[in-house]
Homo-oligomer: A and B are copies of this chain.
Amino acid sequence: MSKINVALLGYGTVGKGVYSTIESHQNRLQRLLGKEVKVVAILVRNLEKHVAPDDQVLLTANFEDILSLSDLHIVIDAIVGREPGFTYLKKAIDKGCHIVTANKEMFAFHGTELQTLALEKGVGLGYEATVAGGIPIIQTIRQLLQVNHFQKIEAILNGTSNFILTNMRKLGSTFAETLQLAKENGYAESDPTNDIEGYDALYKGMVMSQLIYGELPCIDSVKRKGITHIQPQHMKVAEEAGLRFKHVVALSKSNDEIQCKVEPVLVTDSHPFYQVEGVQNSVSITTDLLGTLQLQGPGAGMFPTASAVLEDIIQLENKPKASPAAKNSVTDQDTLLQWVIFCEYPEIEKSGQEISVIEKLDDTTWIIEGEVIPSGLSHSSSTNIFPLKGRYERKKLPLQV
């Protein structure tokens, strides 16, 4: 039986998961592809920290060893960071290899260029694992919703921040205490900045922007706000009002400008994100024909990520195509009617909309009505709730954005 030879860049959690799943699912891969799938080489940074999983696998710290392999068909990128991943993948494409990547930061910044290169070379490029772990959101958009026009994407794409928000509410603990809990459970890295400040979620939003709109959002229209400022008293007020904090990526296009926002928002119990808890991810897609489709599942982990990589291999081998989809979305108003917004008073001052108070919940929290677009949050909603510092008066606020 002929073989599909694979090189694996990186042998951490993702790399090991991919290797062991190729082994455990070999019969199934052979049945689907008609060929054996064989990992022939693994690239690691430090040879002394790793052992090759079997004698026939080349373990190397030198990428040139990978490039010099004859009959190499697929390179799987399971390392992190923009470099050296980008350089490696450019060289692998140039060699004529299909590419499958799980490297979201690299792909957020260099995805379009890699897709162009892959198209020129006639090789396939899979990146399902860069967004939402095993949830097949990339291929759903690429393949299954080709006729539909995209109007809006909203998503919870970072398991760490959702774990922290979930457990701050459940345990009544502070942000710092809950972050520590996340670290102890293996859900946060020693430097958690990427997750808790929304960079990781933004990278995933950038990948989806290139897929749906064919380009990155304009840097001026990107808003990124972390969850580190959320305090137990915010949680308490939200819970009393029947609301939950979620760290949401929102992607849309209006007036030819792609907008990408990452920020904590409050949702009511009728919102589909209300019970997306712990390390779960969820993606809500609104299109012209289908309406709103929500996909939910594990956003990370060894085997969900391996699932995304292996399913990409099947797609590549069955029909390589690397063109950016550029789904040519319908633009429309940002109307998140069930959404509720949290912000602090100084931010409202900058918003400049006329709003009216419906109900005062406590000294710092009011339900208001009106088109409110606080700076740094900018969802509009017919009914919004947020804690205010000090007394709120109904008035036309000066626009200072």
Residues of A within 8 A of B (CB): 21, 25, 28-29, 32, 134-136, 139-140, 143-149, 269-270, 272, 274-275, 277, 287-298, 301, 303-304, 306-307, 310-311, 313-315, 318-319, 328
Chain B residue with minimal CB distance to A275? B275
> Which residues of chain B are near A147, meaning CB under 8 Å?
21, 25, 28-29, 32, 307, 310-311, 313-314
Cβ 8 A contact of A303, one of B270, B277, B289: B289
Q: Are A136 and B144 in contact (CB under 8 A)?
A: yes
The chain B residue sitting closest to A285, CB to CB, is B297
Q: How far is the CB of A167 from chain B (nearest CB, A)?
A: 14
Given that A275-B275, A319-B319 are known contacts, is A146 also in contact with B314, CB under 8 Å in the complex? yes
State A289–B129 Cα separation when bound (angstroms): 13
Contacts of A136 in B (CB 8 A): 140, 144-145, 293
Specify which chain B residues have a CB less than 8 angstroms from the CB of A291 in the assembled complex.
134, 297-298, 301, 303-304
Please give the distance in Å from A169's CB to the nearest CB on chain B.
14
**Contact indicator A144/B144 (Cβ below 8 Å):** yes
Closest chain B CB from A398 CB (angstroms) = 40
- Asked whether A139 lies within 8 Å of B144 as measured between CB atoms, the reply is yes
Taken together as a complex, chains A and B put the C-alpha atoms of A147 and B135 apart, in Å, by 14
Known A28-B147, A314-B146: A290·B298 in contact at CB below 8 Å: yes
The answer to whether B140 and A311 touch across the interface, beta carbons within 8 angstroms, is no
Task: Tell me the bound Cα distance from A25 to B306 in angstroms.
Answer: 36
The minimal Cβ–Cβ distance linking A305 to chain B, given in whole angstroms, is 9
Residues of B within 8 A of A307 (CB): 145, 147-148, 287, 289-290
Given A136-B140, A144-B136, decide whether A294 and B293 contact each other with a Cβ distance below 8 A: no
What residues of B have a CB within 8 angstroms of the CB of A139 in the complex? 143-144
Chain B minimum-CB-distance residue to A21: B289
Determine whether the beta carbon of A148 is less than 8 Å from that of B311: yes
Complex formed: what's the CA distance from A311 to B270 in Å? 29
23 of the cross-chain contacts (CB-CB < 8 Å) are A21-B147, A21-B289, A25-B147, A134-B289, A134-B291, A135-B293, A136-B145, A136-B293, A139-B143, A140-B144, A144-B144, A146-B311, A147-B313, A147-B314, A270-B277, A289-B307, A289-B310, A290-B298, A290-B303, A290-B304, A291-B301, A293-B297, A296-B296
**A311 & B144 in contact (Cβ 8 Å cutoff):** yes
A315 cross-chain contacts in B, Cβ below 8 A: 143-144
State how many angstroms separate the Cβ of A317 from the closest Cβ of chain B.
11
The interface residues of chain B lying within 8 Å CB-to-CB of A25 are 147, 289
For the complex with contacts A29-B147, A136-B293, A292-B298, 8 further pairs of A-B residues with Cβ separation under 8 Å are A139-B143, A143-B315, A270-B275, A290-B303, A291-B297, A293-B297, A294-B296, A319-B319
Q: How far is the CA of A76 from the CA of B254 in the complex (A)?
A: 35
Expressed in whole angstroms, the minimum distance between the Cβ of A54 and any Cβ of chain B is 21
CB proximity of A166 to chain B, nearest CB, Å: 11
Most B CB contacts (10 A, CB to CB) among A28, A143, A287, A314 go to A143
- Provide the bound-state CA to CA distance between A298 and B146, in Å: 18
Contact A328 B28 (CB under 8 A): yes
**Inter-chain contact A296/B297, CB cutoff 8 Å:** no
Report the Cα distance A16→B288, complex, angstroms: 17
Minimum CB–CB distance for A281 against chain B, Å: 10
Chain B residues in 8 Å Cβ range of A289: 21, 25, 134, 303-304, 306-307, 310
Measured CA separation A318–B290 after assembly (Å): 21
A29 vs B328: C-alpha distance when bound (angstroms): 13
Q: Can you name the residue of chain B whose Cβ is closest to the Cβ of A148?
A: B307
Tell me how far the C-beta of A381 lies from the nearest C-beta in chain B, rounded to whole angstroms.
19
